[in-house]
Chain A
Amino acid sequence: MALKVLLVEDDRDLRQTLRDALSVEGYEVVASGSAADASAVLRHTMSSDTPLDLLVLDLGLPDGDGGDLLRSVRAQYALPILIISARHDDANKVALLDAGADDYLVKPFSISELLARMRVTLRHRGTVVLAPQTHYQRGALQIDLAKHTVLAAGQAVHLTPTEFKLLARLVRQTGQVVTHRQLLLDVWGPEHVDQTQYLRLYMGQLRAKLEANPTEPILLLTEPGVGYRLAE
């Protein structure tokens, strides 16, 4: 059965383009041009037999801020949300991620970027219901959170407890960006949420242990001004 996506975008041309592109990829697309319309669609479909699988949300809507819609959706449904926005400032991005958005994409973007982000977001769908991801493998790196093991090319890598906690936090949301604040909160605790220097230091140590070239990481990616992302 096709995955059902609600696309909220006020620009008619872009809405049409995205709708066509997503349909070609086999998604069932419901398109909406305003916050009010999107709310109505959400009310109807979420209680029906075929609820939505993903919300792709533009921030600048004619009848209200997409951010408010995001918060109300997040409060009611466990629906993955991908933000698309023309706003560049990262403070806003971080605020949205912290408010519960699963990922964001800054306009202009290519369709392939959008599809990749959608795939990641969909894979994390139901993180609330299902057990979170505990296993990660890419290239020569294998991580098993349950067994508490990290293997690089078959060799066990020794991590300090904090390094492991940080890595584990990223593994649970593989492919998605995790904000600085979220990482500091989950790994170091609420009193450290502003002390990004801890993150810089420990990410540096993790990269030194896990990456072939720590300067150009392929696993532990930096999202400048926002957070970190563990590559899929």
Chain B
Amino acid sequence: MLSSRRFGTPQFEVRWPAALIWLCAWALLWSLDGILNLGNLALLMVLASAMAGVWLSAAASVGTSAAFVLMFNWCFVEPRYTFNVQLHQDLLLLVTMLGVSAVVGYLMVRLRMAAEVESKHAQSSEQLRELSEAFRETLDAASKGQRLQALMAQQASCPVSVLLLQDGASEDGLGHSELMGPAEGQNLQGLWACAQQLAEMGPGTGRHENQATVFLPLRGRSRAYGAVALHRPDAKLLTPLLREMLQQSCDLLGLELERAQTLRSAQHAKDEAQSQSLRNTLLTSISHDYRTPLANLMGAASVIHDQAPRLTTDKIAGLAQTVLDEAQHLNRMTTNTLQLARLDAAPLQIKKDWESLQEILGSVMAKARQRYPKRQIGVLVPQGMPLVHCDAILLVQLFDNLIENAIKYSPENTPIDIQVQDLPNALEVRVIDQGLGIADAWKDKVFQAFERVHADTAQADATDAAQLRRGMGVGLAVCKAIAKVHDAKLWVEDHQPQGTAMCLSLPVLQQPLVMAEA
């Protein structure tokens, strides 16, 4: 901590200038004796006494002045070498000298004390500033508490315990309370009582004076966020000034904790609102996206059920196909929605392994070709690609969604292309269609759950082409979430001359060791 010397006030310890002044004064007196009359010599004495008073305490100043006046009387006042004073003027001189010395000494002491207080104030405000800076740098409440504990222990030179109360903590174990340092039985009760009553307790505070421990609350604006106990502090050391400074430190922490808690509850409220809004969009979307295929399913199934005898076999087969298609569509949407919820809830619980991108794309292609046997899909994969550390199931789902999207959002007679580029630190996969493309304004939005590029497809009774495209909102959101858990980037590019390229950049890590065959 800072030394008070920095504030430049004279100290009681510095006494030698007074001795020097008296020495000089006596040398002058001796040399001027006989040249000047006694009155002028006496004035010299008064001057020396006043000057020496600057460096001496009031008592010392008066004492030395008295001693020197007696010596002056002995040496210079007639009759010399006796303590007899012949003239009244000489007596007056002695009294004047004593009076001036006393006044100067008293004034100096007052000045010093004022300076002392000033310096202590400056010191403590400096300490408070440092403490508040330290609080701002440390993030968690516990280390802030430790910081305060260390400072108080140093200042009061006694053991200190700190009780921190957060999130509306109470003695019944609600909220979050934390105790640092030793405090048991009465002391622990004292800490809680001090925090609850928002008041200092213990010797020198006017409350519970007989206690050996001083309790200080960590005051916020409306309530205490804990308390501090100073165990058996040195009564002389713990001046009201120091106690005030310690209380200010406590309040600093109290306000700091209050601020943190306000921030936390604001964040919590924000999260709550966000999840509420996600839930609402989810419900809206489910009610629409699920009702449409369900309506088709129910329509087709009920026609078969009610009118089967009057329908041709071809017609029934067609309706059954509708039932199958819609069921598959529902299955895909359910899988996507569940995956989105799962990745949202526990993004770190995925199981990664070394996988071959070629294999993953192969199994995605097998499914796509089965679903769309007539569609032209080209795959271009370089040889000898590095392995990717990923969850294969998730990546299959990602590519499956991208390909499904590409197929649905482009005319039936245009090809879909899948291209992989082996870059130094990444594998870049592009799924390219030749459809209408995506407007710049939508390039980021398409990845948000339940946004749709083609707003008209949100109508349940849209055209056949639009019907095909419904329900991909969750699909791309899942892709984004899957990319995120793999530290991969997913973005939209325009494809020339027309169409869209969905691009995924997968990071390539240090490859695992494979021992060559003997």
Contact = CB atoms under 8 A, between A and B. Distances in A.
B512 A222 contact: no
| Chain A interface, DSSP helix/strand/loop, else mixed | mixed
A63 to B, nearest CB: 26
B232 to A, nearest CB: 60
Interface residues of A, number: 25
B393 A215 contact: no
B300 interface: no
Nearest to A93: B393
Interface in A207-232: 214-217, 221-225
A34 B365 CA distance: 38
A165 B192 CA distance: 73
Contacts of A195: 512, 514
B430 to A, nearest CB: 15
B392 A224 contact: yes
A197 interface: yes
B379 A215 contact: yes
Contact of A216 (B360, B379, B391): B379
Contact of A203 (B354, B359, B512, B517): B359
Interface in B488-511: 511
B422 to A, nearest CB: 14
A88 B338 CA distance: 10
B396 A196 contact: no
Given A91-B351, A201-B514, A224-B396, A110 B362 contact: no
Contacts of B281: none
B358 A215 contact: yes
Interface string B160-191: 00000000000000000000000000000000
B356 A204 contact: yes
B514 A222 contact: no
Contacts of B391: 225
Given A90-B393, A162-B517, A215-B361, A203 B356 contact: yes
Interface of B, helix, strand, loop or mixed by DSSP: helix
A39 interface: no
B11 interface: no
Identify which of A108, A222, A223 gathers the most chain B CB atoms within 10 Å of its CB: A222
A139 interface: no
B335 A88 contact: yes
A200 B387 contact: yes
B362 A222 contact: yes
Interface in B322-360: 324, 327, 331, 335, 338, 351, 353-356, 358-360
B366 interface: yes
A93 B312 CA distance: 42
Contacts of A223: 363
A215 B365 contact: yes
B392 A215 contact: no
B363 A224 contact: yes
A108 B327 CA distance: 9
A154 interface: no
A110 B356 contact: no
Give the one of B361, B363, B391 with max A CB within 10 A. Answer: B363
Interface string B385-417: 001000111011000000000000000000000
Interface string A80-109: 000000001011000000000000000010
B51 to A, nearest CB: 91
A204 B331 contact: no
Contacts of B331: 108
B381 A215 contact: yes
Contacts of A91: 351
A160 interface: yes
Given A162-B517, A216-B366, A224-B396, A200 B381 contact: no
Interface in A131-174: 160-162
Contacts of B393: 90, 224-225
A162 B518 CA distance: 10
Nearest to A215: B381
A197 B354 contact: yes
A108 B365 CA distance: 20
Contacts of B354: 196-197, 200
Contacts of A221: 363, 366
Nearest to B389: A197
A217 B353 CA distance: 21
Contacts of A196: 353-355
A160 B517 contact: yes
Contacts of B327: 108
Contacts of B363: 221-224
Contacts of A162: 517
A197 B392 contact: no
A203 B391 CA distance: 18
A215 B369 CA distance: 13
A216 B403 CA distance: 15
A198 B338 CA distance: 32
Contacts of A203: 356, 359
B324 A222 contact: no
A90 B391 CA distance: 10
A225 B392 contact: yes
A135 B360 CA distance: 28
Nearest to B388: A200
Contacts of B392: 224-225
A224 B381 contact: no
Nearest to A224: B392
A197 B359 contact: no
Contacts of A161: 517
Contacts of A222: 359-360, 362-363
Nearest to A110: B324
A168 to B, nearest CB: 15
Given A197-B354, A200-B354, A225-B353, 10 more contacts: A88-B335, A160-B517, A197-B387, A197-B513, A203-B359, A215-B381, A216-B369, A221-B363, A223-B363, A225-B391
In order of increasing CB-CB distance, the 10 nearest A-B pairs are A224-B392, A197-B354, A197-B512, A200-B356, A225-B393, A222-B359, A222-B363, A224-B396, A225-B392, A215-B381
19 contacts: A90-B351, A91-B351, A108-B331, A160-B517, A196-B353, A197-B387, A197-B513, A200-B355, A200-B356, A203-B356, A203-B359, A204-B359, A215-B358, A215-B381, A216-B366, A216-B379, A221-B363, A222-B360, A223-B363
Interface of A: 88, 90-91, 108, 110, 160-162, 195-198, 200-201, 203-204, 214-217, 221-225
Interface of B: 324, 327, 331, 335, 338, 351, 353-356, 358-363, 365-366, 369, 379, 381, 387, 391-393, 395-396, 511-514, 517
